[in-house]
Amino acid sequence: MTDSFLKLLRCPLCGAKLEPSVKIEESENIIEWGTIVCIGCKTKFPVAFGIPIMKPPNSYIDATENDIPSSSLQKGIQVSNLVRKIEKREIKEVQRNLLIYRTPRASKNGTPRQDGTVNLDNKLSHFLPNALVKIAGKSNLQFVYWVLSGLSFQDRRLRKKEEKVFGKLLEDTSAMGFIYQYYHQLMHSPIYIYFTYRFGQPRYLAALSLLAALPEDQRPILDLACGTGHLIHYLTHRNPQQPVIGLERNFIKLYIAKKFIAPKGNFLCAEADQTLPFENFSFSGVYCSDAFTYFTYRTNSVREMKRIVNKDGIIIITRVPSHSVPERISDPKMTLYQLKSYFDDMQHIVVGEDELMDWYLQKAGPDFSTELPAKELNKIPWMSIAASHRKNHFRNYGQFNDWPHASGRLNINPLYHEDGKDEEGNIILRFKFPTEWYEYENHDWMKYAPETVHLSQSTMNAIAKGIRTPEVNDLISKWVVIGMPEKFLPLGHNLQ
């Protein structure tokens, strides 16, 4: 955490400024491990892996699937305990507390239990008196569960697995490897597919189109509920001099963002729908992609966005599902009226994801000069809204100088897999959806991406070296080749 980033922060409890308290590890004026303290209420907040954790002392750093507390998979360490351990220089223990949560126990059907409690299965009951099992099964006392879990052979096996995965997580050199180890191997969560293949999703490309509306100057931008930092990867490439802040409640996602996906961004751990730890009018733009619908306190979240954005800044919220979205998708839905009512006091415009994709396919940003009629807007499945007090934001943003999805190191889109060679020796790449659900959610892929491509070895070499030949540019325009962070793919996946 840099000094300039610290100056931007405010205490979420009283709004006062913060200053360094204890610095455990510091390099080039960047705090990697330590604590910061509020000069008003004297509350201390931990800094871990260079990421400040701006949560109340009695709150927990938990593992979640989405950006709301009710989606918690496992309760983690309490913030006050985190402060104490850091100040005692127990860094190795803190790393374990932040990267490894107690693994959710499997229920009888093999899926993780959402409450994190021990599953008293038949195997365990063989080793314990029936009366004790019944008491523990009905008791709300958490310590009884922990005692029983300590006696379980299954629990011991899981602890060994956690330690093994913990070692791999610290050693991992790629985002894809970390995401697989943590979300798939340890947490048994299908969300690893979403993060692994997000750089090519239609919703990601639609979001890139909207990013053109964010001011490109020296004032900071906030990505609210930033996830693992995919959009911040692009924003820090678009203008390396512009500070980009990513706020997310899930520390694991922030660790992935900071270490692998967007290392040039600034990140903090905090609740996205509660008091935001920033001064009034701190940002030229606030952006919230693919998360707002999950917030518990949406009204408060919008109020906070308005408070921290400059008077001439812009707020953009993307991918809000309407009731036109199929019932199979269980995301909390919203009407057009509900979405627009949050910004009654600001000029605003609502656009659909299909519109955004149409613009992006033309290598263009959004056209905010004209809004669709209400009758058509009500039919939009996925809504996005932009709001500002400044009329200049509501215009046609025109053509990109270069494809935003080409930012970073060029590589073959991970959705394409090598499938032999043709008669001329060209390498055959074939498109493949990773899962049935991913195909259902991203079926629009096939509207703009070829199912099969044939690449010469010279083209493969050009991609590996980052040389933009006409062939490579054509593949970029078809999303066969995309830009990714240097540390996104494992070494074995990189083109040589």
What CATH number is associated with residue 288? 3.40.50.150
Number of domains in the chain: 3
Round to whole Å and give the CA distance between 36 and 186. 32
> Does the pLDDT value for residue 137 go beyond 80?
no
> In this structure, are 268 and 353 located in the same domain?
yes
Provide the mean pLDDT of the chain. Answer: 85
Averaged over 142-160, what is the pLDDT? 53
Query: Does residue 186 lie in a domain region?
Result: no
> In this structure, are 257 and 351 located in the same domain?
yes
| Closest of 351, 346, 343 to residue 397, by C-alpha | 351
> In this structure, are 336 and 373 located in the same domain?
yes
CA end-to-end span of the chain, whole Å?
35
Round to whole Å and give the CA distance between 236 and 483. 13
Query: Does residue 175 lie in a domain region?
Result: no
Query: Does residue 75 lie in a domain region?
Result: yes
- Select the highest-mean-pLDDT range: 98-112, 316-330, 336-350: 336-350
Q: Which residue has the higher pLDDT, 66 or 12?
A: 12
Domain end (from 103, 118, 135): 103
Say if residues 212 and 290 touch (Cβ distance below 8 Å): no
User: How many Cα atoms are found within 13 Å in the side-chain-facing hemisphere of 6?
Assistant: 21
Least confident of 127-141, 366-380, 414-428: 127-141
pLDDT band at 327 (very low <50, low <70, confident <90, very high): confident
Round to whole Å and give the CA distance between 281 and 304. 10
Averaged over 73-90, what is the pLDDT? 88
Least confident of 228-242, 454-468, 481-495: 481-495
> In this structure, are 399 and 413 located in the same domain?
no
> In this structure, are 380 and 425 located in the same domain?
no
| Closest of 102, 226, 113, 104 to residue 159, by C-alpha | 102
Tokens of residue 175, six digits: 């985002």
What sections of 48-174 are H helices per DSSP?
A: 79-87, 91-99, 122-125, 130-138, 142-151, 153-171
Say if residues 394 and 412 touch (Cβ distance below 8 Å): no
Domain end (from 43, 68, 103): 103
What is the pTM assigned to this prediction? 0.86
> In this structure, are 376 and 447 located in the same domain?
no
> Does the pLDDT value for residue 248 go beyond 80?
yes
Range of the domain at 314: 198-404
Round to whole Å and give the CA distance between 278 and 154. 45
> In this structure, are 280 and 383 located in the same domain?
yes
Q: For residue range 164-203, what is the model confidence (pLDDT) as tens digits?
A: 766 777 777 899 988 988 888 777 778 889 899 999 888 9
| Closest of 397, 307, 303, 304 to residue 349, by C-alpha | 397
Domain end (from 43, 71, 103): 103
Length of the chain in residues, anyone? 496
Averaged over 8-28, what is the pLDDT? 89
Round to whole Å and give the CA distance between 116 and 105. 6
> In this structure, are 96 and 204 located in the same domain?
no
